[in-house]
Amino acid sequence: MKHLIKISDYNIRAKKENANEDLMQNKMAVLLQLCKKKDRKAQRELFNHYKHKVYELIYKSLGPKFDIDDVLQQVFIELFKSLNYFKGQSSLDTWVYKIGSKICTTQLRKKYRKRQASIVYDSTQIDNDKNLNISEKNYEEEQKELEEVIYNALDKLEPEKRIVITLFEMEGRTLEEISEILNIPLGTVKSRLFHGRKILQKLLCNYIKE
């Protein structure tokens, strides 16, 4: 009997959690409707709900050299505009990621094009130069330099591959989710991931154990 009671307690708790989820969903649905009507309060709430996620996505996919705040604002402006086209076929999270990754890709493309025009340095040389000094610097500086190295390597990737790697390796999204977010087939996601990884492993060979 005790077992039973415990189980029923557990059920009740699960029910409560479900109810909370339902409530959240309902709240989001109401928020969405209000946002579609360009209600500023609702938009602020939506912004506060997603700001951290979007900020992380942008930072991870673009790196510290970009004006992250500006891109973040762009993403939210685009999001508020595009909410009318959101029909609830996917979750709102996916939709937000979709728009965020789209804008990040365009930003990367802009930079990619500029970079192509300039001289491309041999990355391994730069990396090696920096390797000498790492030991002499404290942790924060190390971290900064590591980031720089990583983003230098990422910069050499094509934006399409880079966004896949960002989403998979850094954001921890599944392959299916990525294919939905980027609106490309699963096979393409896999191949981009594979090739991107290969290039990165080559570029960052000094930092990865073989």
Partner 1 sequence: MTTNNKKSENLHTLLAKIKVPAKTENEWKLLENELFYKLENQKKPKFINNIFSFLQELLIQLRPNVAIAVASSFLIFIAFIGILISFLNKSQTSVSVIQLVTFTNNTNILWNGLDKINNLSSNQIKFHKNKVSGTTIITSTGDSAIITLNKGNSIKIYPNTKLIVEKATLTRIVCNLKEGSILVKVNKLNGKNKFEIKTPITICNVIGTVFRVNSLNNSKTIVSVYEGKVKCTSLSKKNYWEKFVESGNEIIVENTNKPFISNYSSLPPVQDISILNLLLEVDSLKDALLYFNSTPNGAKVVINGFMEGKTPLIIKKPQGVYSLSVFEEGFYPWEKTLAINNTRFIQINAQLKELPQQNKLSVRKIYPIKQTEEKLATLPAYINALVAMSSCRYQDALLIFDSLWSSGNIDIKGRMFIMDKINYCYSQLGDFEKAIENLEEKYNKAQNIQEKGQILWEMATIKANCLGDYQEAEMALVEFLIIQPNALWAHSAYGKLAEIQYYLGKYKHAAETYKKHIKTFPQDPDIDRSIYNLACIYAWDLKKLDKAVYWYSKLITSFPKSKYKANAFFRRGECYMQLGEVENALIDFNTYLLLSPNGIWKEVCLGYLKKLKEA
Cβ proximity to partner 1: between 13 and 81 the closer is 81
Min separation Cβ 121 and partner 1, Å: 20
CA dist 60 and 155 (Å) reads: 12
Min separation Cβ 92 and partner 1, Å: 18
Q: How far is CA 152 from CA 65, 143, 204, in A?
A: 10, 14, 10
Min separation Cβ 39 and partner 1, Å: 12
Cα of first residue to Cα of last residue in the chain, in angstroms, is 56
CA dist 162 and 25 (Å) reads: 32
Which spans of this chain sit near partner 1 (rule: CB under 8 A)?
40, 43-44, 47-48, 51, 55-56, 59-60, 64, 69, 72-73, 76-77, 80, 105-106, 109-110, 113, 116, 131, 134-135, 142-143, 146-147, 150, 165, 169-170, 197, 200-201, 204, 206-209
CA dist 210 and 207 (Å) reads: 9
Give the SS3 label for residue 184.
Answer: coil
Min separation Cβ 61 and partner 1, Å: 11
